[in-house]
Amino acid sequence: MTPVGELGTFQDAFAAALAERTAAPIAGWLPEGETDPAGLAVYRNTIAKGCIDALAANFPTVASLVGDDWFGAAAALFARDNPPKSAALLAYGAGFPDWLARFPPADDLPYLPAMARMDGMWTTALFAPEGRPLAAEAFALEPQALAAARPRLHPSLAFAWFDSGLPGLWLAAREPQPGEMELAEDPQGVLIVRPHEAVTARLLDRAGHAFLAAAETDATLGEAITAAAEADPAADLPALFAALIADGVFVGLDPGDPA
C-alpha cells in the first residue's frame, strides 16, 4: 500500500475508533501490548465538547429554556449516538429535534422538540445560499399576467404551521431579555428567511402559510392567492402579498400563460 493510501486507511480506522469508543479499529497500529491508549480519550472528549458547543450554538432557544446543565447532559448523549459526519459543525444536529421527541427526560417538556425544530430552521436559513429578493416593482404586471406567473422562493426561506402558539413562544424566548412567556392555544405559523445579511423571523397566519405552501409546490400566484383565500376568507390578501414582498421571500417570477 502506498504511504498516501496507508494514511487514508489509518484515518478511517482512527475515526472509527473514536466513533465506536474502542481501540479495536487501530489495533494494527498500536505498540505491542497496548490496547486502549489514553490519547483516544482526549480526542473523544475534544470531539464531544465540540459537538456540545455546536448544539448549544445551533439550538440556543432550547438551551435557554432548559438551562446549561440539562442541555449539556442531553447534548452529550445525542453526540455519543450521533457523531458528526464531517469536521464542519456549523449545521450539526439536524436530527436533534426528532431525538428530543424520543428522549424520556423531555417528556415533561412537550414543547421542546418544536423549539428545536424552529432553531434548526433558523440555522438552516443562516447557512442557506444567497438570493436577491425581488422589489415590489417586479410584480407590476397586468392582472392576468401576474396571476399566471409562478414565483420562485428565496433559498433560505423556511416556514411551518403548528397547532398551538409555539412560534410565539419561540420568538419570545429568543429575545435578548425574554419577559414572561405564555403559550397561546390558537394555532400559529412561523416564517424564517435571510433576504440580506441577517436572518429574520415573524409569526405567519393561516392565509400566509397556505400561500407559501402553494407557492412551494410551483403554484401560480393566482393559485397561491386562491389557497390563501380558502384558508382564511377574511384575510386581507393585498396586505398579505405586500408583507411577503417586504419579507424578501421572492427571488424570481417566471411568466405563465395568461390564457
Q: How confident is the model at residue 7 (pLDDT cuts 50, 70, 90)?
A: very low
Residue 85: the pLDDT is 75
Read off the pLDDT of residues 109-129 as tens digits, 9 standing for 90 and up.
Answer: 999 999 999 999 999 999 999
Query: What are the backbone dihedrals phi and psi of residue 142, each rounded to the nearest 5 degrees, phi first?
Result: -60, 145
Q: What is the pLDDT of residue 257?
A: 73
User: How far is the CA of 52 from the CAs of 45, 64, 113, in angstroms?
Assistant: 10, 14, 17
Q: Is the pLDDT of residue 98 over 60?
A: yes
**Contact between residue 251 and residue 133 where contact means Cβ atoms under 8 Å apart:** yes
Tell me the pTM.
0.81
Q: Greater confidence, 31 or 155?
A: 155
C-alpha torsion sign, points 45, 48, 53, 54: positive
How far CA 190 is from CA of 17, 92, 118, 183, 193, in Å, comes to 42, 22, 8, 15, 10
Question: Which amino acid is present at 152?
Answer: R
Residue of 132, 136, 127 lying closest to 195 (CA atoms): 132
Q: How many percent of the chain have pLDDT more than 90?
A: 67
pLDDT at 50: 85
Of all helices (H) and strands (E), which one includes residue 246? helix 237-247
Question: Taken in order 241, 247, 152, 224, is the CA torsion positive or negative?
Answer: negative
Q: Greater confidence, 95 or 40?
A: 95
Range of weakest confidence among 3-12, 59-68, 166-175, 192-201? 3-12
pLDDT over 50 at 155, yes or no: yes
CB count, 10 Å around CB of 241? 20
Q: Once rounded to an integer, what is the mean pLDDT over residues 152-174?
A: 95
Among 40-54, 99-113, 236-250, the minimum mean pLDDT is found in 40-54
**Helix, strand, or coil (residue 251):** strand
Asked whether 93 and 59 are in contact (CB, 8 A), the reply is: yes
Q: Is the pLDDT of residue 29 over 70?
A: no
Grid coordinates representing 140 are 407590476
